[in-house]
Amino acid sequence: MSPATVICIGMAGSGKTTFMQRLNSHLHAKKEPPYVINLDPAVLKVPYGANIDIRDSIKYKKVMEEYNLGPNGAIVTSLNLFATKIDQVILLVEKRSESFLNVIVDTPGQIECFIWSASGAIITEAFASTFPTIIAYIVDTPRSSSPTTFISNMLYACSILYKTKLPMIIVFNKTDVQSADFAKEWMSDFEVFQEALRHDAEVNDDGTSSGYMNSLVNSMSLMLEEFYSQLDVVGVSAYTGDGFDEFLDAVDHKVDEYNEFYKAERERIIKDKEEEEKARKEKSILKLMKDLDIKGKPVRDEVDVLSDTESVEAGENDGEVARDEDEGPLRVYTFPEDRAGEVTAKTDADLQARYQQAFESTAKTASSLTAESIARYINQ
């Protein structure tokens, strides 16, 4: 059985790394130690032991200096460099997959550097194509007590869900400071959320909550009702450890959901891409045939070019085109049958005499012409 991969994503300050530490400790306490991966190159110290740490292979500060980048640009570049070796990471996880049930992955606090970058998509796809993969979206519960901030967090979670196309668990962290019951109620009862929104507008009568904003939040909350139905919601405290058993139950539920729905959907998408590629290749071949004007033409039986004669088998005129019988021979032998015109020992003396006579005549003519030319030149 493949281990479940939990990719922890959350806004900066949501307690994501502390959540990772507590989840790691909780699984160790259950005698089910996970395989831990850290993908945050900028963190100075992590409160857990990582089996694979991006900082071991990529030096964040060196990347900043080498490429003259700022903090976020260096994080993205570090992830890009790491993504080139993601196949090796997957192989390492697969080799150890029989000895653990869970893989937990920590991501950079700058959430956009991971989610909306090409490297983040490559890393996520690599895990999702090999193991049942779940997104754990960590939310800072006290900061989400305002309806406007809450809906902003939910919109971001919605965008991540449809970007990754993976099962998602909304984790309301820091429940030791504020309970997450209000958030769960807002997600399940639209009227309660509307009432909270009206109350917030009355309390904050300082111009920060306009009528336009309330109307927008109302509309978005209606739209998000379908989104909420796709989620599992849990409240945890990374500080006290409360709620982690519930979180692990949600992970098991999402693994089943992945195997039943998401895996089939991913296989369908891969199959569709293969069929599209096949259709594209066939279309290209047909276009090439059309351009070469060979579509529908019969195969040539005759030899049209010199190179075609090479394919003629031995004994078949050695590749030469046979002449039609009715054409007759190209030339006729012109000597008489008694071959009287042929030079023999009897005719050789007469032939020599004729040659000598022709030579003397030619030489005499040439001499007279030369003497005449010299006399004309002197007289001038």
* pLDDT top residue among 65 and 294: 65
In whole angstroms, give the CA distance from residue 288 to residue 292: 6
In whole angstroms, give the CA distance from residue 170 to residue 58: 31
For residue 63, the SS3 value is: helix
Residue type, 273: K
For residue 87, the SS3 value is: helix
* pLDDT top residue among 340 and 242: 242
pLDDT at 245: 95
Q: Which CATH number fits domain 4-179+230-258: 3.40.640.10, 2.60.120.620, 3.40.50.300, 3.60.110.10?
A: 3.40.50.300
Tell me the two tokens of residue 295: 């579509």
pLDDT at 328: 46
Q: pLDDT tens-digit profile of 153-211?
A: 999 999 999 899 899 999 999 999 999 999 999 998 888 888 888 888 777 665 555 56
In whole angstroms, give the CA distance from residue 189 to residue 181: 12
pLDDT at 358 over 80: no
Q: Tell me if 221 sits within 8 A of 191, measured CB to CB.
A: no
**What's the predicted TM-score (pTM) here?**
0.70
In whole angstroms, give the CA distance from residue 15 to residue 172: 10
pLDDT at 4 over 90: yes
pLDDT at 371: 52
Residue 18 binned pLDDT confidence (cut-offs 50, 70, 90): very high
- Taking CA atoms, 239 is separated from 16, 33, 177, 243, 325, in Å, by 11, 20, 10, 11, 105
DSSP state of 134: E
* pLDDT top residue among 278 and 368: 278
Tell me the two tokens of residue 293: 């004007």
Stated as kind and residue range, the H or E segment containing 151 is helix 147-164
In whole angstroms, give the CA distance from residue 127 to residue 7: 9
Chain mean position to CA 303: 47
Q: Which of 82, 46, 18, 1 is nearest to 244 (CA)?
A: 18
In whole angstroms, give the CA distance from residue 167 to residue 320: 72
In whole angstroms, give the CA distance from residue 112 to residue 160: 10
pLDDT at 149 over 80: yes
- Taking CA atoms, 265 is separated from 7, 167, 258, 270, 371, in Å, by 20, 12, 9, 9, 111
| 244-264 average pLDDT score | 90
* pLDDT top residue among 308 and 90: 90
Work out the widest C-alpha separation in the chain, in whole angstroms. 143
In whole angstroms, give the CA distance from residue 215 to residue 366: 122
The conformational region for residue 296 under phi > 0 = left, psi -120 to 50 = alpha, else beta, is: left
**Percent of the chain having pLDDT more than 90?**
47
pLDDT at 201: 77
pLDDT at 307 over 80: no
Query: Is 242 exposed, middle or buried (CB count within 10 Å of its CB: 0-12, 13-18, 19+)?
Result: middle
In whole angstroms, give the CA distance from residue 94 to residue 1: 11
Give the HSE-up count for residue 101: Cα atoms under 13 Å, Cβ half-sphere: 11
Residue type, 282: E
